[in-house]
Every structure is written in C-alpha cells, then in structure tokens.
Amino acid sequence: MEAVSVIIPAFNEEDGVADVIANIRLALTKARVKHEILLVDDGSKDQTALRAYQAGAQVISMGENRGYGASIKAGMRQAQYPLIAITDADGTYPAAELPILVQMTQNADMAVGARVKPGAAIPLVRAFPKWLLGQWANYLADRKIPDLNSGLRVFRKSIALRYEGLFPNRFSFTTTITLALECHGYIVKYRPIDYAPRVGRSKIHPVRDTINFFSLVLRVVMYFKPLKVFIPLSGILFAGALVNIFNAYLRGLTVLPGSTLFLLVSGVQVAALGLLADLLVKRGR
C-alpha cells in the first residue's frame, strides 16, 4: 500500500489526543502501512501540543485559532506522502478503519468513513440538520452521498491541492472536498464505520454551522453545476408567469399585467445566466 500522511487538526483536545495518536500508529503499523502523523495545533490553550509530541506525533503550530480547514491545509503543505488521511483528535473515529480506507484508495481517488451504522453516536441536535444537508447535497451532486462531511477519510494529495483555493478555513472543509470530487467525476468510495461519543467538549455550533454548511453547498455547486440552481429558479419564474396568464384569462383581461412580463423576462434571463455559467465552468475544466 502507498504511504500516508495522517493529519489531525486539534483545538483544546488534551484529554483524547494521545490515545488517538497511539491507536492510529498501532493500526497502521500492524497493517504495515508507511506513515507519518501530523498533529496541527490550532491555537490550543491547553496541553494538546505537548501531549501530542509526547505521543510521538509531529506537531505543527498554527499560533492562533484559524479553523479546522486551515489546519488541514497547513498539514497538507508539510505532508511528505502521496496519500492524505484526516481524522479528529477527540476519539470519535475508529483508527482501525484507516488501513482499510488506505487500501480502498488503490482503486479510488478518495475513501470516506461514512457514519451510517445503526450504533453511530451522532448527537440528536446534529442528526436532523445532517440528514437535511445530505438530501440537499444528493440533489445537487446527482447521487446519494452516504456521509457528506465525515472527518475520517483518505484522499490523494495531488487532487486535493487542485482545489485548495476553494477549501474554507472552518468546518466546511470536508463538505467542500466531497462535493468537489463528486461533481467533477472522481471516484469516491464510502465505507460504513462506527462513530463513538467524543472525548471533551464539542466545538460545533449547531445552528450557525448548519446555516454555513447549506450556504457552502450552494456556493460549491454553483461553481461546479450551476444549472442545478439556475434552471429550477427559472422554472419557478416561468410557472409564476403562467399562473398570472391563466388568472388574466379567467378575468377576461386583454392586456397582461406588468408582473407577468417581469416574470417572463426574469425567467429567460435566469436561464441564460445559468447556461452562460455552465459554459464557463466547462471551459475552465
């Protein structure tokens, strides 16, 4: 199997980070996978960096809290191997799955640990937003995505670097790379995994981060598949115009209301913008 650089972004995770590093090293060593472990300390105020260093990881310090995505990007720049694996420092993801995901990338561009097993300990406050976000992404990506933003995955560094400018600095890194590869036709494989209760306190803000995730999915798909947004919007405008025309007919009007003409023109303009955006996307590939 190819060598892998394991990147662990961490912010105030002193309670669980050492065990995570030990479990990763054990799993990859047992599977005879050449590897390095990079702990990216995202401005922690506790002993996260010290405990990671004592556990044998290479520690990269961000100096201040820059965000989950920024930490992964910093880790990728220093990673020496062709495969990149990411996981969390809170003990939620099973390290034993990493060698399997590495093996899966021999025939794929990215392998994702999907938190779809019945016993996966996803907090209830995040379960419904996660499902709703998944349905939205499935429509926009034209396929069923088992887990849009799992934090356990292995992907090729060369491919990820092509999209580095798109990756946000916060929690939406995983969502972006999933949609980028799915929308551009890369081979992405998913493997059901367990998901344990975290060690320590979560850094997720359910309402704010869910809203950010939805807006991010929309922006990413506008970049890759703009027709999935523009054509339905154009259809809604045309449908409104047809309703106005039918209403005018029932009322016996001989002149169409100005709102009907506005809806018709707007529908044509939105459709034209969508076609232009799609052409620009395809020419830019």
Axis-axis angle for helices 124-141, 227-250 (nearest 10): 80
Pull the structure tokens for residue 129: 């937003």
- Burial of 207 (C-beta count, 10 Å sphere; 0-12/13-18/19+): exposed
Which class is domain 4-224?
Answer: alpha beta
Residue with tokens 């060690």: 199
Query: Residue ranges of the domains in the chain?
Result: 4-224, 227-284
Can you give the pLDDT of all 285 residues of the chain as single tens digits? Answer: 899 999 999 999 999 999 999 999 999 999 999 999 999 999 999 999 999 999 999 999 999 999 999 999 999 999 999 999 999 999 999 999 999 999 999 999 999 999 987 766 555 556 666 677 777 778 777 788 999 889 999 999 999 999 888 888 877 789 889 988 988 889 999 999 998 886 756 555 556 666 666 676 677 767 777 888 888 999 999 899 888 888 887 877 777 777 888 888 898 999 898 888 878 766 655
Find out whether 137 and 172 touch, Cβ atoms under 8 Å: no
Contacts of 187 (CB under 8 A, 6+ apart): 107, 108, 109, 110
Find out whether 216 and 174 touch, Cβ atoms under 8 Å: no
